[in-house]
């Protein structure tokens, strides 16, 4: 048995975690995952007492390099990949892009018979559902969640991977903590005119969930009122957060995990808020490609991702686990509210299909794009 020494092993693992051209640069996220995993490789792969792979699967997987296509936030994905490589010894190459562009790439490559991904992670239930109809997924149920039907979608074609929390954040050099906004409605104050950052509200799970939450819990005319304040609109959450950290914005919509990684890893002068109306949770989905070339590595990755260890890594990054036996995340040193509390609003996966287009149309009408 060997014990992975958290942050130190993650630093070493980064030599094995590489990225393809679409990913861009950035840091490792090595300081984010700081605890130890007990890894036993005497008979396959067992992590923290949970079987991840039998001997035959693990022996094959160790010789492979996993190719991952993902729309999970880049810094968060890097931190997760580093922990995976440190715990398993399996290398990861990944392509990261926003959901709509990534789905276009997946479909284009699949249509040409050249899909390179072994595993795909997406934030849009409708996209994941369409992938199943188009034969892009190969159904695979990760061993740690067998029998947990609430996590298995379309008969096990794909699985919930993480529950991501959307809120807003502020630049601590621009906005004193004592006067920071505490509710979604506070963002509509005139003092934030031209100083607010948001992302395009027409694609991806975060936009779909936030749009629905705004309609149900805040104000049906919220986006029209927001548009009057001339917010800066970004195509990706990464660009928006960089602008916030640089002080180009006072406040911006944000993910708790992205803020956590930026503060811990880069000491970014930003902080998040748990609004009075609540955090907004939506799911990322994960599955095995039907054309996976590194089948064993893909199975190990999926098993690890849904193991208790893998889900604890997600909560250390700052997102919520999809497993009920894993505690809520801690972000910037603060424990987030428990699922089921009145401070957490959860977007049902099927609700994305029901409301997504209509809510996006409201956003488009407000911002004229």
The tens digit of pLDDT for each residue in 61-91 reads: 999 999 999 999 898 999 999 999 999 999 9
Q: Give the dihedral of Cα atoms 305, 311, 316, 321; nearest 10 deg.
A: 120
Contact 223, 214 (CB under 8 A): yes
pLDDT of residue 33: 85
Please give the Cα distance from 65 to 117 (Å, whole number): 11
CA-based nearest residue to 203, from 233, 171, 172, 247: 233
Is 211's pLDDT higher than 50?
yes
List, for residues 314-356, the tens digit of each pLDDT value. Answer: 999 999 999 999 999 999 999 999 998 999 999 988 788 889 8
**Strand-strand pairing, 330-331 and 152-153:** unpaired
pLDDT of residue 96: 96
Please give the Cα distance from 133 to 157 (Å, whole number): 10
pLDDT of residue 17: 47
CA-based nearest residue to 256, from 317, 324, 187, 200: 317
pLDDT of residue 3: 58
pLDDT of residue 352: 84
List, for residues 20-53, the tens digit of each pLDDT value. Answer: 434 433 333 346 887 889 999 999 999 999 999 9
Place of tokens 């880069």: 266
Place of tokens 């700052």: 318
**Position 204 confidence tier, pLDDT thresholds 50, 70, 90:** confident
Is 213's pLDDT higher than 80?
yes
**Strand-strand pairing, 37-40 and 270-273:** unpaired
Residues 6+ apart with CB under 8 A from 71: 96, 97, 98, 99, 102, 121, 122, 123, 124, 204, 284
Is 179's pLDDT higher than 90?
yes
The pair of structure tokens assigned to 42 is 């005497």
CA-based nearest residue to 130, from 99, 161, 151: 99
Is 146's pLDDT higher than 50?
yes
| Vertex 188 angle, CA 362 and 242, to 5° | 85
Q: At what angle do helices 295-306 and 74-88 cross, to 10 degrees?
A: 110
Please give the Cα distance from 292 to 276 (Å, whole number): 44
Contact 184, 218 (CB under 8 A): yes
Mean pLDDT, to the nearest integer, of 206-232? Answer: 96
pLDDT of residue 35: 80
Concatenated DSSP letters of 227-286: HTT--EEESSHHHHHHHHHTTS-SEEEEEHHHHHHHHHHH--SEEEE--TT-EEEEEEEE
List, for residues 116-135, the tens digit of each pLDDT value. Answer: 999 999 999 999 999 999 99
pLDDT of residue 248: 97
Q: How does the average pLDDT of the chain come out, rounded?
A: 91
Using alpha carbons, list the distances in angstroms from residue 98 to 4, 106, 238: 32, 12, 10
Place of tokens 């390179």: 116
pLDDT of residue 16: 45
pLDDT of residue 340: 87
Is 167's pLDDT higher than 70?
yes
Contact 249, 171 (CB under 8 A): yes
Is 267's pLDDT higher than 50?
yes
Which domains can be identified in the chain, with CATH numbers?
2-162+283-330 (3.40.190.10), 164-281+334-367 (3.40.190.10)
Mean pLDDT, to the nearest integer, of 109-113? Answer: 97
The lowest-confidence range among 215-224, 245-254, 259-268 is 259-268
């Amino acid at each position: 048995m060997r014990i992975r020494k958290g942050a130190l092993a993650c630093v070493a693992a980064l030599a094995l975690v590489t990225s393809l051209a679409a990913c861009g640069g950035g840091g490792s996220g090595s300081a984010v995952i700081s605890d130890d995993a007990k890894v036993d490789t005497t008979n396959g792969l067992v992590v923290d007492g949970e079987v991840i792979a039998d001997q035959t699967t693990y022996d094959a997987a160790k010789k492979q390099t996993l190719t991952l296509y993902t729309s999970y936030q880049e810094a968060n994905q890097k931190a997760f990949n580093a922990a995976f490589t440190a715990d398993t010894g399996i290398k990861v190459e990944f392509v990261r892009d926003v959901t709509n562009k990534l789905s276009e790439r997946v479909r284009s490559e699949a249509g040409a018979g050249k899909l390179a991904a072994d595993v795909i992670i997406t934030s849009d239930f409708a996209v994941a559902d369409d992938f199943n109809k188009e034969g892009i997924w190969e159904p695979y149920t990760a061993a740690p969640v067998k029998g947990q039907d609430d996590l298995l979608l379309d008969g096990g074609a794909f699985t919930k991977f993480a529950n991501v929390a959307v809120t807003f954040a502020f630049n601590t050099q621009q906005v004193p903590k004592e006067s920071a906004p505490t509710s979604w409605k506070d963002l509509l104050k005139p003092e934030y005119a031209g100083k607010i950052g948001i992302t395009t509200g027409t694609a991806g799970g975060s936009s779909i969930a936030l749009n629905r939450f705004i309609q149900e819990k805040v104000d049906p005319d919220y986006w029209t009122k927001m548009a009057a304040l001339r917010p800066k609109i970004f195509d990706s959450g990464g660009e928006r957060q960089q602008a916030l950290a640089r002080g180009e914005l006072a406040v911006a919509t944000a993910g708790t995990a992205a803020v956590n990684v930026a503060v811990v890893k880069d000491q970014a002068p930003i902080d998040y808020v748990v609004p009075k109306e609540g955090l907004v949770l939506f799911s990322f989905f994960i599955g095995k490609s039907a054309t996976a070339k590194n089948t064993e590595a893909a199975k190990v990755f999926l098993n690890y991702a849904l193991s208790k260890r893998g889900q604890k890594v997600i909560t250390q990054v700052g997102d919520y686990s999809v497993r009920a036996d894993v505690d809520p995340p801690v972000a910037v040193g603060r424990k987030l509210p428990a699922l089921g509390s009145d401070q957490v609003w959860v977007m049902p996966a099927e609700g994305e299909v029901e409301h997504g287009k209509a809510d996006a149309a409201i956003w488009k009408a407000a911002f004229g794009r």
